[in-house]
């Protein structure tokens, strides 16, 4: 079991476990496209799950790496036993939380389920783009490329993974790799390395041509439900910050990532601007940002999110209805919720802007129709009353330390 791959100790106290990568014989036969790729499960492989450790690092897949592994000289195990040996070596001997491949293709064409975390489990290979789905290929001793029995399986798993994750063919590549064990720092990692041999590019081109001709990505669908929606209990005052709590469960099969197309945001159901809008925090005046930076909701997982609410200058119960959508435009059925704030009436006088023929009202520097316009306000907006000119003008607080005058016939007192 332990003589899976030759270990070479350098004088630098760095142990390099070279995984020689082999690729590239072109076969002249008509490829077939299977509707479903058969994968040998971890249970069927009879690996020892007790060696697997929890790994909470996940990422949305962006590329595919094919990593051929050269069978060490003198190792005559069949593919199934070699797969189990690799799993044992990486976990028990090198301390990896799991085997660092999402799938492993044997020389006989069998495809083995790799990392338990699935295709979204982060497997980092230094020198390569994060978010890669890593597929290992077990090359038999003495071979310089794909076995005839494995060739179909490799192309089919590449196509299946690409379609399922909408990974374009140009984001698929083959790479060499090596495990680096630094004895001094007690660290272990995998890094990419150049492949040796000119046949690899030709073989990869054949595989990518196959993927390109049959590439039909399937849009990912997401499913969530609101477990709890909790607005603030206590009454709030104008200019305070309210906090809305949502507990959301991912009921689908795909993870939901902040910053990606799957990110959950709120949407005001009538499409109008919200009175609770927080500038610089919400995605738009009608869309509260739900997920904070770096958040991920895995399938079956529940997470609680808290987002900020502006307390408007409207008194009593203020209620608005929202639902949840994602940035890709998918509406989540059954996710309606209300934001409710009970706003205390202030002691200061408040005026509300009335309708005008122009749809707005000028705010002027002094109490005169000939004065400079410093800003415009809209019907329905409310402001603190500051002063009456007794000449037909009211002075209002327009916030930001500014004030101005508006024609009194276009405003009304609301308290």
Run of H or E residues at 158: helix 148-165
Q: Does domain 224-343 have CATH number 2.60.40.10?
A: yes
If DSSP codes are grouped into helix, strand and coil, which group holds residue 190? strand
Q: Cα–Cα distances in Å, from 366 out to 74, 352, 381, 390, 395?
A: 94, 19, 21, 13, 9
Average pLDDT over residues 204-224: 93
Q: Is 338 left (phi over 0), alpha (psi -120 to 50) or beta?
A: beta
Run of H or E residues at 178: strand 176-182
**Domain range annotation of the chain:** 7-213, 224-343, 350-413
Q: What is the pTM of this model?
A: 0.74
Please state the CATH superfamily assignment of the domain spanning residues 7-213 in this structure: Peptidoglycan recognition protein-like (3.40.80.10)
Average pLDDT over residues 143-166: 89
Going by pLDDT thresholds of 50, 70 and 90, the confidence category of residue 401 is confident
Run of H or E residues at 85: helix 79-88
**pLDDT, tens digit, 9 for 90 and up, residues 306-347:** 999 999 999 999 999 999 999 988 999 999 999 999 999 999
Please provide the average confidence, as pLDDT, over all residues in the chain: 87
Q: Cα–Cα distances in Å, from 55 out to 51, 194, 239, 297, 343?
A: 12, 29, 43, 14, 45
Going by pLDDT thresholds of 50, 70 and 90, the confidence category of residue 19 is very low
Q: What percent of the chain has pLDDT over 90?
A: 69
* pLDDT number for residue 210: 96
Q: Tell me: pLDDT of 33 over 90.
A: no
**Residue 307 phi, psi (nearest 5):** -130, 155
Q: Tell me: pLDDT of 30 over 70.
A: no
Q: How many Cβ atoms sit within 10 Å of the Cβ of residue 210?
A: 20
Q: What percent of the chain has pLDDT over 70?
A: 88
Q: Tell me: pLDDT of 412 over 80.
A: yes
* pLDDT number for residue 184: 67
Average pLDDT over residues 82-97: 93
* pLDDT number for residue 307: 96
Average pLDDT over residues 401-414: 93
CA gap 67, 326 in Å, rounded: 34
CATH of the structural domain 350-413, one choice from 3.60.15.10, 2.30.110.10, 2.30.30.40, 3.40.50.1820? 2.30.30.40
* CA-based R_g, the chain, Å: 31
Average pLDDT over residues 156-184: 89
Average pLDDT over residues 197-205: 72
* pLDDT number for residue 186: 63
Going by pLDDT thresholds of 50, 70 and 90, the confidence category of residue 6 is very low
Q: Cα–Cα distances in Å, from 195 out to 199, 202, 252, 288?
A: 10, 13, 39, 49
Average pLDDT over residues 75-82: 87
Average pLDDT over residues 115-136: 91
Q: Tell me: pLDDT of 13 over 60.
A: no
**pLDDT, tens digit, 9 for 90 and up, residues 270-297:** 999 999 999 999 999 999 999 998 899 9
Query: Which has the closest alpha carbon to 339: 308, 315, 313?
Result: 308
Going by pLDDT thresholds of 50, 70 and 90, the confidence category of residue 204 is confident
- Tokens read off for 317: 């119960």
């Amino acid at each position: 079991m332990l003589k899976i791959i030759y270990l070479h100790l350098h004088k630098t106290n760095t142990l390099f476990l070279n995984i020689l990568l082999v690729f590239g014989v072109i076969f002249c036969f008509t490829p077939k496209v299977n509707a479903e790729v058969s994968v040998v499960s971890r249970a069927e492989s009879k690996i020892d799950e007790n060696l697997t450790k929890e790994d909470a690092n996940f990422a949305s897949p962006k590329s595919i790496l094919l990593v051929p592994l050269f069978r060490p000289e003198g190792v005559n195990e069949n593919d199934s036993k070699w797969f189990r040996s690799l799993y044992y070596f990486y976990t028990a001997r090198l301390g990896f939380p799991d085997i660092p491949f999402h799938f492993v293709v044997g020389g006989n064409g069998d495809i083995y389920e790799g990392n338990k975390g699935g295709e979204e489990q982060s497997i980092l290979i230094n020198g390569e783009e994060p978010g890669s789905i890593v597929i290992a290929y077990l090359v038999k001793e003495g071979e310089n490329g794909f076995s005839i029995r494995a060739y179909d399986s490799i192309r089919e798993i590449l196509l299946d993974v690409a379609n399922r994750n909408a990974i374009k063919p140009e984001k698929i590549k083959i790479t060499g790799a090596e495990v680096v064990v630094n004895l001094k720092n007690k660290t272990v990692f995998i890094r990419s390395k150049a492949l040796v041999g000119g046949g690899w590019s030709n073989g990869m081109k054949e595989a990518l041509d196959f993927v390109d001709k049959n590439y039909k990505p399937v849009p990912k669908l997401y499913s969530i439900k609101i477990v709890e929606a909790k607005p603030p209990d206590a009454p709030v005052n104008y200019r305070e910050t309210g906090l809305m709590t949502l507990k959301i469960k991912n009921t689908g099969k795909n993870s939901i990532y902040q910053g990606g197309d799957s990110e959950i945001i709120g949407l005001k159901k009538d499409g109008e601007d919200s009175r609770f809008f927080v500038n610089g925090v919400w995605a738009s005046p009608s869309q509260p940002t739900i997920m904070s930076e770096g958040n991920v909701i895995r399938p079956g997982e529940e997470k609680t999110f808290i987002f900020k609410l502006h307390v408007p200058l409207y008194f009593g119960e203020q209620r608005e209805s929202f639902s949840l959508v994602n940035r890709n435009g998918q509406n989540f059925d059954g996710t309606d919720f209300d934001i409710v704030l009970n706003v205390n009436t202030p002691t200061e006088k408040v005026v509300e802007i009335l309708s005008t023929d122009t749809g707005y009202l000028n705010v002027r520097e002094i109490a005169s129709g000939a004065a400079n316009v410093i800003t415009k306000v809209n019907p329905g907006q409310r402001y603190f009353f500051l002063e009456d000119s007794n000449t037909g003008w009211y002075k209002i607080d327009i916030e930001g330390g500014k004030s101005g005058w508006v024609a009194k016939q276009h405003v009304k007192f609301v308290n």
